[in-house]
């Protein structure tokens, strides 16, 4: 039985929401493309790639099947080879490590910092003669302190590739996630801030040579004449998905504003709870502009809180099913990363999406405050 008398339920994510709110426009875009028979590598994809590049400030954007392929293709395009090591943060999706693995290199997981992003000290400690790349994950819609990461890369002669799957539009010192290193990948998985109706992704790069390699790697290793010039993948962003993304990109800043407003509400209501650590509030640090892909808190008695919220109709999620990548021992990882292992026991994502009303957010806060009130603490 609910202890807060209320019929409200707040799911963690509402998958039909985007389609239902944009249904008429989406259907007319799909109809137009269907009638043109323009499904693969057509003008709509080219337009989206141009608009995405211009939005992020990258020289080039290339649509691909998903961000996992995007990261793999980016590394291959930049010349990462078997024997190379790629340092990445263990608090990320297994996709980051898989992309490194399938590019032929060895993924080397390192610690998470208190901001839930890659720990610069962890990077320094993991650099070896085989290290070729640092790949920070710009997690939860926040971009890492890229001055620090680029300085470490420069000191050791390493390249930087960003996993920006969760970070389209997020900025550090005014520059967009995904534009700092050699290349990066963004995900358009439906639950992403910019999501499509299925799988989708894009690679960003400022490097003309890498761009040319990416174009061919995503399309069976063919060059612009259709000649096969290398081994390649089939990983192209569908033209329909590109058109739907392009349409949504036009209003993207409003989406970000709303997510930041929700983060403000959470901050206002929850900041006095000693049992919680909240993400940095929007505008709390002028160097960071966060888009709040997720709102990931740290909580005392996390498991009990999650159960309690479930009973109140509030959906929550432990990112990656509650395990950091190096804890997937069947993948061969041997590292022990104690700070992340401590964090992972405390982290919980509470609802953060465009279907939330202010009342929903207030309700989630009421429930959390109620849980930590004297009645439930004993
Ligand atoms: C941090 C991170 N990296 C990579 C990916 C993989 O993205 P995709 O599902 O588009 O392959 C995701 C997707 O959720 C992610 O969150």
Q: Which residues have CB under 6 Å of ligand 1?
A: 66-68, 92-93, 95-96, 137, 163, 165-166, 187, 189, 199, 201
- One digit per residue, the tens of pLDDT, for the chain of length 378 reads 566 667 899 999 999 999 999 999 999 999 999 999 999 999 999 999 999 999 999 999 999 999 999 999 999 999 999 999 999 999 999 999 999 999 999 999 999 999 999 999 999 999 999 999 999 999 999 999 999 999 999 999 999 999 999 999 999 999 999 999 999 999 999 999 999 999 999 999 999 999 999 999 999 999 999 999 999 999 999 999 999 999 999 999 999 999 999 999 999 999 999 999 999 999 999 999 999 999 999 999 999 999 999 999 999 999 999 999 999 999 999 999 999 999 999 999 999 999 999 999 999 999 999 999 965 544
The continuous run of DSSP H or E covering 299 comes out as strand 295-299
Distance CA 132, CA 47 (A): 34
Spacing, Cα 137 to ligand 1 middle (Å): 10
List, edge to edge, every strand of the sheet that includes 85-89: 60-64, 201-205, 183-187, 159-163, 131-135, 85-89, 106-110
Spacing, Cα 167 to ligand 1 middle (Å): 10
Q: Is 164 exposed, middle or buried (0-12, 13-18, 19+ CB in 10 A)?
A: buried
The continuous run of DSSP H or E covering 177 comes out as none
Closest CA to 294 of 165, 367, 193: 193
Spacing, Cα 187 to ligand 1 middle (Å): 6
Neighbouring residues of 134: CB distance < 8 A, sequence distance ≥ 6: 86, 87, 88, 118, 123, 149, 152, 153, 158, 159, 160, 161, 181
Atom of ligand 1 nearest to the CA of 163: 3
Distance CA 39, CA 52 (A): 19
Closest CA to 216 of 206, 231, 201: 231
Pocket test for ligand 1, best of 95, 199, 245 (most atoms within 8 A of CB): 95
Spacing, Cα 68 to ligand 1 middle (Å): 6
Distance CA 299, CA 266 (A): 14
Beta-carbon-side half-sphere exposure of residue 340 (alpha carbons within 13 Å):
25
Q: What is the pLDDT of residues 69-110, one digit of tens each?
A: 999 999 999 999 999 999 999 999 999 999 999 999 999 999
Output the residue whose Cα is nearest ligand 1's atom 8.
Answer: 67
Atom of ligand 1 nearest to the CA of 137: 1
């Amino acid at each position: 039985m609910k202890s807060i008398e209320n019929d409200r339920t707040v799911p963690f994510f509402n998958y039909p929401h985007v389609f239902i709110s944009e249904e008429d426009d989406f259907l007319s875009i799909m109809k137009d493309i269907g009638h043109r028979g323009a499904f693969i590598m057509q003008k709509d994809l080219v337009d989206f790639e141009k608009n995405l590049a211009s939005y992020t400030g990258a020289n080039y954007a290339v649509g691909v099947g998903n961000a996992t392929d995007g990261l793999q293709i980016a590394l291959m395009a930049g010349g990462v080879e078997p024997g190379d090591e790629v340092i990445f943060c263990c608090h990320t999706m297994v996709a980051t490590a898989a992309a490194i693995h399938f590019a032929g290199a060895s993924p080397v997981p390192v610690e998470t910092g208190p901001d839930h992003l890659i720990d610069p000290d962890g990077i320094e400690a993991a650099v070896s003669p085989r290290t070729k790349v640092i790949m920070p994950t710009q997690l939860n819609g926040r971009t890492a302190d890229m001055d620090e990461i680029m300085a470490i890369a420069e000191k050791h002669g390493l390249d930087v590739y960003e996993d920006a799957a969760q970070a389209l539009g997020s900025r550090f010192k005014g520059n967009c996630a995904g534009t700092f290193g050699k290349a990066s990948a963004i995900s358009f998985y439906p639950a992403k801030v910019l999501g499509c109706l299925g799988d989708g992704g894009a690679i960003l790069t400022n490097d003309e040579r890498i761009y040319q390699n990416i174009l061919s790697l995503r399309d069976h290793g063919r060059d612009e004449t259709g000649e096969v010039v290398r081994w390649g993948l089939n990983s192209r962003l569908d033209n329909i998905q590109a058109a739907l993304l392009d349409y949504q990109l036009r209003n993207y800043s409003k989406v970000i504003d709303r997510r930041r407003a929700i983060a403000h509400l959470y901050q206002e209501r929850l900041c006095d709870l000693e049992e919680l650590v909240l993400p940095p509030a929007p505008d709390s640090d002028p160097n960071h502009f966060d888009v709040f892909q997720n709102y990931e808190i740290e909580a005392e008695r996390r498991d009990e809180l999650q159960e309690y919220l479930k009973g109140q109709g509030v959906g929550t999620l432990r990112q990656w099913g509650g395990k950091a990548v190096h804890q997937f021992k069947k993948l061969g990882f041997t590292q022990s990363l104690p700070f992340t292992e401590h964090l992972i026991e405390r982290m919980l994502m509470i609802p953060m999406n465009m279907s939330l009303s202010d009342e929903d957010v207030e309700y989630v806060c009421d429930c959390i405050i109620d849980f930590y009130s004297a009645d439930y603490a004993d």
